[in-house]
Amino acid sequence: MSIIESNDLHLYYGKHEALKGITMDFNEGGITALIGPSGCGKSTYLRTLNRMNDLIPSVTITGKVTYKEQDIYSPRTDIVTLRKQIGMVFQQPNPFPFSVYDNVVYGLRLEGKHSKSELDQIVEESLTAAAVWDDVKDKLHKSALSLSGGQQQRVCIARVLAVKPEVILLDEPTSALDPVSSGKIENMLLELKDEYTMIMVTHNMQQASRISDKTAFFLNGDLIEYNDTKKMFLNPGEQETEDYISGKFG
Ligand SMILES: Nc1ncnc2c1ncn2[C@@H]1O[C@H](COP(=O)(O)OP(=O)(O)OP(=O)(O)O)[C@@H](O)[C@H]1O
């Protein structure tokens, strides 16, 4: 069953058409990689799925995005709730300048959850699921900014997991990290993929082929091909996909 669908989605920055009618759907669970050369619209598309582009004044959107069959651009949509259901992880780790613990419980406190035992339990669960509990269990009350970049990114993922989203959008989550930290995050995403629907922009073709179930190839604001990752890398259906993944342009 699909959990998110976009239908003939166009997005303009002023007069520039960055997305030219994207129709695609995402099944529940698993990892979908969005790939394509710089400027093709991958991040823009990712951000349309939880209305992050609303923050940019010049943006106009036509077409439809549904989450569980509800139009997310409807005036009835509550954006705070939507962004809890569809969480986001950014390229640069962006912990808040407070303790690891306070980072993880941030969204829960906004929801009015204050019971210490409940918060303690969610902190441990979320940091464990984000594969960073062992690194930080003795530093929960130290500033998150004192951690390494890779640890910070995993704490940011724990912060998203703590509010129990169904979908996680990841915008190049490992591109600012060293290979060891990237590998830890890839393994963690593989552990989480039965429980969450994950959609990830990546520049790294090996990463897409290692961890994603499906891959979507974007070019100049168009969706060129969307297929099972194995098929896409072994036997692409479009010449442009083949040229891109074989490194002829990019
Ligand atoms: N805030 C913005 N204002 C105006 N134009 C923008 C804005 N953000 C992106 N664009 C333009 O929209 C197009 C798509 O950009 P987008 O960042 O979505 O591409 P991308 O495929 O994610 O690229 P990259 O891999 O380099 O991040 C580009 O032409 C870009 O210059």
Residue 250 lies in a domain: no
Distance from C-alpha of 23 to C-alpha of 45, rounded to nearest angstrom: 11
Residue 227 lies in a domain: yes
pLDDT of the residue at 248: 85
Q: What residue's CA is closest to ligand 1, atom 30?
A: 39
4 Cα–ligand 1 center, Å: 22
135 Cα–ligand 1 center, Å: 35
Domain that holds residue 192: 2-245
Residue 209 lies in a domain: yes
What is the domain count for the chain? 1
What interface predicted TM-score (ipTM) does this complex get? 0.96
Pocket test for ligand 1, best of 40, 45, 90 (most atoms within 8 A of CB): 40
Distance from C-alpha of 234 to C-alpha of 245, rounded to nearest angstrom: 10
**88 closest CA partner among 201, 203, 223, 243:** 201
What angle, rounded to 10 degrees, do the helices at 149-162 and 179-192 form? 20
State pLDDT tens for residues 90-108. Answer: 999 999 999 999 999 999 9
Phi and psi (nearest 5°) for 40?
A: -80, -10
pLDDT of the residue at 114: 81
Residue 201 lies in a domain: yes
Ligand 1 shell residues, CB under 6 Å: 13, 16, 18, 36, 38-44, 56, 203
**Rounded mean pLDDT of 193-219?**
96
For residue 113, the cross-strand partners are: none
Supply the DSSP string of 144-210, one letter for each residue.
GGGS-HHHHHHHHHHHHHHT--SEEEEESTTTTS-HHHHHHHHHHHHHHTTTSEEEEE-S-HHHHHH
pLDDT of the residue at 141: 97
| CATH at residue 220 | 3.40.50.300
* Backbone conformation region of residue 109, classed left if phi is above 0, alpha if psi is from -120 to 50, else beta: alpha
